[in-house]
Amino acid sequence: MSTLERRALICGASRGIGRAVAETLAANGVRVLALARDPARLDALIDKLPGQGHRALAVDLNDPVALNTSVEAALADGPVHILLNNSSGPAPGPILGASDAALLRTFEQQLLAAHRLTQLVVPGMKQAGWGRVINIISTSVKEPIRGLGVSNTIRGAVASWAKTLATELAADGITVNNVLPGYTRTDRLAEIISERARRTGESIEAVETALRAHVPMGRFADPAEVAAAVAFLASPMAGYITGINLPVDGGRTQSL
């Protein structure tokens, strides 16, 4: 399949890592379906993307009916060959204090939405004999991150779901992989830093310095660096890679 024939559905495309992935794939000739809640941000993104055939899908991942309707309408124009499951993380906090509602809301947004989207796009991938399902999750699936109880719990479930799916779809020419960003300059990282500063009484600068001290490279990632890893896994060159967790974390994760 040539690059120009590929089409990608990118969740969380209006900002951060999702936006960087949309920009990177579009620069590589992929037609982008950019999905997020904010129509103004999506329209601004579509206007900037190189190439043609891009489309905005303004829909909430937590609204299964609207999500299904919007994606099915987009699929009427042709299959999706690359699916990026990506959504914002839940509020920081210890797991013991997490409410049922917080766990269920995050399960819906991160796992069930990814599952529904995959069910929608896989038939077209099977027909093409080629597909990529890539999930943006977290290094917490290898080493739980203190203070992110709900995120640790649900992202672990997404990783197990993806590994199971990778085995089921391998014979169809469809790969399923997870990208695990470390500290990346996004709104999510800013939220975590602000919450830690509020809880400890330290300054924002002090919290950032402490976080960077855990990264062998000594800096936070740019979203484009995470997008580059996604672009590789989405490419024909990664056709024999499936079922993996790929950290993009500057060496922070100490486990193998």
| pLDDT value, residue 46 | 97
Residues 6+ apart with CB under 8 A from 119: none
| pLDDT value, residue 89 | 87
Inform me whether the pLDDT recorded for 169 exceeds 70: yes
Inform me whether the pLDDT recorded for 12 exceeds 80: yes
For the chain, list the domains and their CATH numbers: 3-182+223-247 (3.40.50.720), 183-220 (no CATH)
Inform me whether the pLDDT recorded for 4 exceeds 80: no
Going by pLDDT thresholds of 50, 70 and 90, the confidence category of residue 195 is confident
> How many angstroms separate the CA atoms of 198 and 159, rounded?
31
- Give 191: exposed, middle or buried? Use CB within 10 Å, 0-12, 13-18, 19+: middle
What value does the mean pLDDT of the chain take? 95
What's the number of CA atoms in the CB half-sphere (13 Å) around residue 20? 19
pTM confidence score: 0.95
| pLDDT value, residue 188 | 85
| pLDDT value, residue 191 | 87
Q: Give mean pLDDT, residues 79-87.
A: 97
